[in-house]
Amino acid sequence: MIVGIGIDVCPVARFASAAENERLLARLFTPSERDSSMNRMAGRFAAKEALAKALGAPAGLAWLDVEVRKDDLGKPWFDYRGSIAARIAELGIVHVHLSITHDAGIAAAVVVCEA
């Protein structure tokens, strides 16, 4: 059963401009997430936003409690803990699907949460 769906888009140029603020990057991304291109970082930001929407965007979610990773084949997935893990458990979610894309200067992500 689908518990939540989230989608987000992020203009890469706008994100790159905001990413000049090192303090902002430190609040949004783990160190391993920050070691990437602007396209990928914008996609990761869109993924985190889409996840927050799929979880109902409750107060208290921490950006650093979720990390976007990829498997050996390049498929993205979330590694979560803390506030994110607590919300996922509260909703009875057993699987989180993630898709990220970037094209024509836009990064986009879709998240589907299943119970």
Catalytic positions: 53, 102
CA distance 10 to 63: 16
Tokens of 24: 């902002």
Quick one: DSSP state of residue 99? Answer: E
> How long is the chain?
115
CA distance 75 to 77: 7
**CA-closest candidate to residue 46, choices 82, 76, 75:** 76
